[in-house]
Amino acid sequence: MNDSKYFSVPLASPKALTFGNEKKNEFSFCISLTYSYLCTQIAKVERIMPLRIPDLLPAIDILKQENIFVMDDTRAHTQDIRPLKIAILNLMPLKITTETDLIRLLSNTPLQLDITFMKLKSHTPKNTPIEHMMMFYKDFDELRNKKFDGMIITGAPVEQFDFQEVTYWDEVSGIFEWAKTHVTSTFYICWAAQAGLFYHYGIQKYPLQKKMFGIFEQHILYPRMPIFRGFDDVFFMPHSRHTELHREDILANDQLTLLAEGEESGVSIVMAREGREFFITGHLEYAPDTLDNEYRRDMGKRDDVEMPKNYYRDDDPDKGPVVRWRAHANLLFSNWINYYVYQTTPYNIEEIG
């Protein structure tokens, strides 16, 4: 601690100081000031807030085994602070896996986040027990009158359909519209990024001859943006998709800012409305083994899927993956929460609009 910041004269020569009508000995005042400062700092440390998630969510035990700090709902209720309210519309088929992936990243913040999982009324997932959905998820209809500081909308295995052909398009596009006035900042991932850009800005997606599958180098176009604070000049992002966005379509729309792209993987991060919307075409949230599981699942069943690029050690599936995206994944989510949610959202959540 730099004493000159807190003491105007040496402690060895105390003087009488006047504050209003009250005189105080400088020594005792300085000690009092320092004690007050230390108490404030201790309070800040004691109030470091982990993620607040529902009791009994399977991700809790998984992440505790990874030494990641999470707080269940019961304990969180004992702390007197307004948490940031984050909604997650989870459209991925393996709900529990995606929950764990996202919570792993969101937990890397000193802020308390109150997570609400949202589901569609017009779609029943086939790969997650109905009991899990009933216990941990709420229909959009239950939440439409609430406001949220942040929202994450995940990818979905429907990218090869036209948007309007997706059975739940009417409901999900209604949520996109709702988010504009009920959420401070929304984070669209993979298919949701393509769908959100199409709905809000008319950006088309285009089919790929071969699946974009692997870990690809990304280049930052606006390194001074807060979303990239702490990033290196290049970073790596997992991609797993059959469609793409065209760079020229993004650049032609003055409401959109292309923030990052890959030479091989193309458009990767787009921003709109000064950070109230982010569109991420890849999967920085993926766990180390996710692409391996996808590859082994599809191997021999599809002719448009090759071994994931830049993923396995020495390009040998038996040697396992080399993880090169985790640090930047944590930075991206932390920067989003800090600079585009926490620093921007009003204290009175009802003022979001």
**Catalytically annotated residues:** 190, 283, 285
Tell me how far the alpha carbon of residue 212 is from its chain's centroid: 22
How far apart CA 78 and CA 312 sit, in angstroms, is: 45
Give CA–CA dist 300/123, Å, rounded.
29
Residue 21 has a CB neighbour count (10 Å cut-off) of: 5
From the number of C-beta atoms within 10 Å of its C-beta (0-12, 13-18, 19+), residue 350 rates as exposed
Element (H, E) at 26: helix 26-46
End-to-end C-alpha distance for the chain, whole angstroms: 42
Report the Cα 154 to chain-centroid distance in Å: 10
* Strands 206-220, 137-139: pairing kind: unpaired
Q: Taking Cα atoms as reference points, which of 351, 214, 218, 209 lies closest to residue 280?
A: 218
